[in-house]
Amino acid sequence: MTVEQKQLPGKVRASPVFRQFVNDELLPAIGVSPAGFWPGLESIIADLTPLNQALLDKRDEMQRRIDDWHRARRGEAWDHDAYVAFLDDIGYRVPEGEPFSIGTENVDREIAEVAGPQLVVPVSNARFAINAANARWGSLYDALYGTDAIDEENGQERGAAYNPVRGAAVIRYATGFLDATVPLDGVSHADVNAYGLGRTDRGDAFVASLASGETVGLADPSQYAGHRGASGRRRFLFRNHGLHLELLVDPGHPVGKEATANLADVILESAVTTIQDCEDSVAAVDADDKVAVYRNWLGLMRADLEATFEKGGETMSRTLEPDRVYVDPGGREFALSGRSLMLVRNVGHLMKTDAVLDADGNEVFEGILDAVVTTACAMTDRRRDGMQANSRTGSIYIVKPKMHGPHEAAFTDTLFGRVEALFQLEPNTLKVGVMDEERRTTVNLSECIRAVRDRVVFINTGFLDRTGDEIHTSMQAGTVLPKEAIKQQPWILAYEDWNVDVGIACGLPGKAQIGKGMWPKPDEMRQMLDTKQAHPEAGATCAWVPSPTAATLHAMHYHAVDVRARQQALAKRKRAGLDDILTPPLADVGALSADEIQAELDNNAQGILGYVVRWIDQGVGCSKVPDIGDVGLMEDRATLRISSQHMANWLLHGVVTQAQVLETFTRMANVVDRQNEGDASYERMSDDYASSIAFQAACALVFEGCEQPNGYTEPLLHRYRRQKKAELAA
């Protein structure tokens, strides 16, 4: 903390950059005076800091007892019943109460009623944040043409110029989608010469004209929702499973003038919701970083955030899209938002920030500050010309990650209540998303939901963080399987089903989202199309995708699957078993060859280095990182957690040696250096391993991995990033 920190009304001290942001930008935007804000913040910090710390102490004590239990039984046969009884005895698992249904109210339809793709984006990057918000609507033609969803065989190659053969393949694909989604009465969309409107006693009706002169309507006329534009260039709007799609008819369009019925594009409602992230995809280690994060979130809520950048030698800018105004079949105008409904992900309970010091001069818990400041930013959410408010119900949506069990969920409920009181908001204005990514939350999921039952709007599964916690929790129990084998173990399959089962039983359908995790390969869209329909089929109302293009393609899955109907069917199945969930993914890896062990090490070390070098040297918390086979994967801290914990586990149990790990890191640093040769701002690690702060950070994540709280990477990343920033400033 700098010597410039200033005493504010009360006893807290704020860094100059944070104090200026709050006093000059944030508080005037919400009509709150500094004299009303700072003492209120101080009171929340003073009252809740001891509770927060006690919860962290409980985590450490629980892990210590689990470690001791495993150490005392090392070499003995696994006794599952004794293990579960032990977890119950120490309060790791709490008794499940009587059945209940959540009571959340004032939830926007995008969360309560509509199943669709969800984006997660670092709010620290204004351009990415705006692009994600604008991904509510996406061109299916562009998504198909520009990705491997359409193969490049038989003359269908992508190139610098438009390829009409590929374009024809795109239109055929889109036509098949339309026939399945908004089918015409007895004919294919491929048979249509023109689209238009007809009149009925109930108003406008969508009609399609055939070459014979015959006209037909939709197989289900109720799917037609409205239109906009005049004859010649017109957009027709439809609804299926709660999602919208739009046909753009334009004979003057380069594609439309050659296409059947002049169909220039098919526009899909794509990223229905977007999580603007302050956590795992962000590298924010000090007050300057935090203010940049908060300022972008404020700009999104005020709808005035703008990003200017260079692309192709030209200066370009991004702003938020306006609403889309249509005329319904009865002739009345209505508007649909041009933007995703935005949630904000705060950090968890662990980390602290130097943006504010408490009365004793200690850094305050970052999660407490996030709750206060992101709420204040969201209070500026309001209707602007041509833009609906982000939340039409007046709610503020905060996703809370990395909570361990019901008591931590209850603490979040208390924190949100205090923030509501500070800003004189109605109780339960702040809605919470509970991320089911820690083992103690999984096994107590219904009680975690009960603790926030009147404000919960979201639960989800996240394989990577959940696996990282699985490994760390059972670190002393034995050697874990290779990473790919862990994915096939009974615990992970039961975990995915358990989350949906509990969510349905607690009454989330119709009030809250049940989500699934990220598709990590932004360049592998055909594979995503082939596999990710499993998420809505599993009962998930949303699932994460890595890009706006992926959101448009994934939206087709929600047109194919009626998620509400799936949830009703799944409600009748037997709940997934906790015994499977509480079975660690352990195995004797002695059957692995030396080459197989080294390949696992290489894969982990390369992934760690590829992510960490950008985090430490450039402050990039999320990016497309090439894996060891040069396949680009969207990486954030969750990926890092599992890889570093996996290596730490094998090192602890003697599968590998410290010298072997270090040799692997040095060799893989050369690979990562090669993969980043085209980045002018990249700093090579292999030129001087000893002076590369990024290389040292990567090694520390493994060599100090067993001692990290719950296996989290944030404490070490923050330490080394601050060191790097100090070096750059010197």
Three-class DSSP category at 225: strand
Give the max Cα distance, the chain. 83
Q: Which residue spans within 218-329 are E strands per DSSP?
A: 224-230, 233-240, 243-249, 263-269, 273-277, 307-311, 314-318, 324-327
Dist CA 659 CA 645 (whole Å): 17
Q: Looking up tokens 């370009």, which residue turns up?
A: 316
Name the pairing type of β-strands 396-400 and 430-436. parallel
The burial class, CB within 10 Å (0-12 / 13-18 / 19+), for 94 is: middle
Token output for 224:
């037609």
Whether the Cβ atoms of residue 516 and residue 535 lie closer than 8 Å to each other? yes
The burial class, CB within 10 Å (0-12 / 13-18 / 19+), for 148 is: middle
Token output for 507:
């009454």
Three-class DSSP category at 363: strand
Whether the Cβ atoms of residue 710 and residue 59 lie closer than 8 Å to each other? yes
345, 614, 637, 641: the active-site residue = 345
* Rg of the chain in Å (alpha carbons): 26
Contacts of 34 (CB under 8 A, 6+ apart): 8, 9, 22, 23, 27
Q: Which DSSP letter does residue 218 get?
A: B
345 catalytically annotated: yes
Q: Which DSSP letter does residue 512 get?
A: S
Dist CA 533 CA 26 (whole Å): 42
Whether the Cβ atoms of residue 544 and residue 489 lie closer than 8 Å to each other? no
Residues in the chain: 730
Orientation of helix 693-703 relative to helix 637-652, angle to 10°: 60
Closest C-alpha to 625, from 674, 694, 669, 675:
675
Q: Which DSSP letter does residue 167 get?
A: H
Whether the Cβ atoms of residue 119 and residue 545 lie closer than 8 Å to each other? yes
SS3 for 677-729 is CCCCCCCCCCCCHHHCHHHHHHHHHHHCHHHCHHHCCHHHHHHHHHHHHHHHH
Dist CA 388 CA 429 (whole Å): 18
Name the pairing type of β-strands 513-516 and 542-545. parallel
Closest C-alpha to 350, from 708, 622, 52:
52
Dist CA 433 CA 435 (whole Å): 6
Residue 20's DSSP bridge partners are: none
Contacts of 301 (CB under 8 A, 6+ apart): 342, 377, 378, 379, 380, 381, 390
636 catalytically annotated: yes
The burial class, CB within 10 Å (0-12 / 13-18 / 19+), for 187 is: middle
Three-class DSSP category at 439: helix
Residue 363's DSSP bridge partners are: 357
318, 636, 637, 641: the active-site residue = 636
CA 175 to chain centre: 31
Three-class DSSP category at 414: helix
DSSP codes of every residue in 632-665: EEEE-HHHHHHHHHHHHHHHHTTSS-HHHHHHHH
Give catalytic residue positions. Answer: 345, 636
